[in-house]
Chain A
Amino acid sequence: MSIRIEHLNYIYSQGTAYEKQALKDICLEIPHGEFVGIIGHTGSGKSTLIQHLNGLIKATDGTICYNGENIYGERFNMKELRNQVGLVFQYPEHQLFEVDVLSDVCFGPKNQGFSREECEKRAREALKLVGLKEKYYQSSPFELSGGQKRRAAIAGVLAMQPKVLILDEPTAGLDPKGRDEILEQIAYLHKETGITVILVSHSMEDIARYADRIIVMNQGQVMYNSTPKEVFAHYKELEEVGLAAPQVTYIMHELAEKGLAVDIGATTVREAADSIMEVLGR
């Protein structure tokens, strides 16, 4: 279930005055079951990159292999790829259209060709996973609050039971509570079902907390591709491209400069607190 990207290039509006190279020679490998975070500045190509992964955009150059099969191959079943690689777009609530929440979530499984009962079963499971209360199932998706709409829309992709779940800024525009709840649910889903999760965000804190590996994009290229600890060690370089390390990284570095022997590689508040306690308690 791995995804392998080799020398991927993508040029927008090729051959016109608006031509722009969005991706430059991307090489990546995402094994099954990993929780990957992709961060980058606006316009760094992260959204373009993830749309390649389920074949919505065709690369100008380069190959993508899903389970070792070239997705640009002649006999490749693109529909099956889209069933297996679920993509939740930014502001997914903008794609809701049905008369009630349950039918909207059923849209995906229905397109996959399941029976009515099976669609509903899957939809209910998905809605439970995102934590939307049962009383909302029959209401119009347009009557829900922002956070609830977002959950319903994410459920719409989850109901297809993908093997790989890609989320493009799933928490944009949500309040801190809604943000934490959605991220917790994604982390729970990852743990329970073992699916691959690719989370695109520009919040370092969010990504540091959940991701096994971080891919930093800058101007269409992969800048770093490694564990959170290693990536955040480059916090000065990250600042230069308009990103920042989580706040704890800065605190730990300053504490270390002041002579406290704390672990400067701590990436979450929990780790940082433990490390400080350990040093102080000695």
Chain B
Amino acid sequence: MIRDITIGQYYPAKSILHRLDPRVKLTATVLYLISLFLFKNLSGYLVATVFLIVIIRLSKVPFKFIMRGMRPVIMLLMITLLFNLFLIKEGEVIFSAWIFKITEGGLRNAVLMAVRLIYLITGSSLMTFTTTPNELTDGLESLLKPLGRIHVPVHEIAMMMSIALRFIPILLEETDKIMKAQIARGADLESGNILQKAKSMIPILVPLFVSAFRRANDLAMAMEARCYRGGEGRTKMNPLRYTGRDKAAYAIVILYVAGVVAVGRYVPLHIWIF
């Protein structure tokens, strides 16, 4: 049941996107996310859609799998959609009933905002689908390295992040196991009101916390036993190195951002109210 969450999950496949340097993917994702907010015209959305479809095809991650990651954010999407739909009053009224009024501007904003959010989530989850958590933190550490000069503990942050990410599946599995063990002892996790439900979580949360602390303790011990003492002077087994492929990817992404902003701003395209 908990296994259904796909956001932030890695999807193993052999694609050009999987092989790219994590720094490229991180930078590209950030640029892509920013670019989504730099245009207004429908033409920009078209360019972004084409780009996104090409990237999804390149990543070899099944479309169904990406869509499954959308499920947890549907609520958020619906709320934004409804708020935009009913609260923005611009242009002609299309529909009106009782106190509800939908205007052209409201509809346009609601739809475009929803599309933007979906593209945002798809884009960033594509990065995590194609990058292992280890690569991700490696890339982040290397990108943030300049901050070390102003005494930001970059290595420690990266290490904490990779440990946290590494432990998500372990703790999920542990939760699953503890839940099963308590269900086997007759625990009822589903019925009852909110208070009873919260109370029924105690037999799961207490052992979970105990085991999380035990694991943290064991891990700290194991790291110390291997002489871990922070990032200073530490070398990597597989240091990140840019290849021709990565440079080409940088070029393509910059070209895309420039293109989508230029098209989205200066090429007018109107269909119905959009």
Contact = CB atoms under 8 A, between A and B. Distances in A.
Interface of A: 13, 16-17, 51, 54, 56, 79, 82-83, 86-87, 89, 92, 94-97, 107-108, 111-112, 142, 156-157, 160
Nearest to B186: A111
A232 B177 CA distance: 33
B183 A89 contact: no
A95 B181 contact: yes
Interface in B82-100: none
Given A17-B13, A95-B207, A156 B185 contact: yes
A87 B178 CA distance: 12
Contacts of A83: 186
Q: Is the interface of A mostly helix, strand, loop or mixed?
A: helix
A83 B210 CA distance: 27
Contacts of A96: 207
Contact of B183 (A56, A112, A157): A56
B180 A56 contact: yes
A83 B12 CA distance: 41
B76 interface: no
19 contacts: A17-B12, A17-B13, A51-B180, A56-B180, A56-B183, A79-B186, A82-B183, A89-B177, A89-B180, A89-B181, A94-B174, A94-B177, A94-B181, A95-B178, A95-B182, A95-B203, A107-B203, A108-B186, A111-B185
Contact of A86 (B174, B180, B184): B184
Contacts of B13: 17
Interface string B183-221: 111111000000000000011001100110000000000
Given A13-B3, A17-B11, A97-B207, A89 B184 contact: yes
Interface residues of B, number: 23
Contacts of A94: 174, 177-178, 181, 207, 210-211
A56 B184 contact: yes
B65 interface: yes
Nearest to A57: B180
A111 B185 CA distance: 8
Nearest to A95: B181
A97 B206 contact: yes
A140 B65 CA distance: 45
A89 B207 CA distance: 14
A219 B207 CA distance: 31
Interface string B2-39: 01000000011100000000000000000000000000
Contacts of A51: 180
A76 B188 CA distance: 17
Contact of B202 (A56, A89, A97): A97
Contacts of A13: 3
Nearest to A79: B186
Given A95-B207, A97-B202, A142-B210, A112 B184 contact: no
A13 B1 CA distance: 10
Given A17-B11, A17-B12, A89-B177, A97 B203 contact: yes
A107 B207 contact: no
The 7 closest A-B pairs by CB, nearest first: A111-B186, A97-B206, A95-B181, A108-B185, A87-B184, A89-B181, A56-B180
User: In the complex, which of the residues B11, B184, B211 has the most CB atoms of chain A within 10 Å of its own CB atom?
Assistant: B184
- Tell me which of A83, A95, A96, A97 has the highest count of chain B C-beta atoms within 10 A of its own C-beta: A95
Contact of B188 (A54, A97, A111, A156): A111
Nearest to A54: B184
Contacts of A108: 185-186
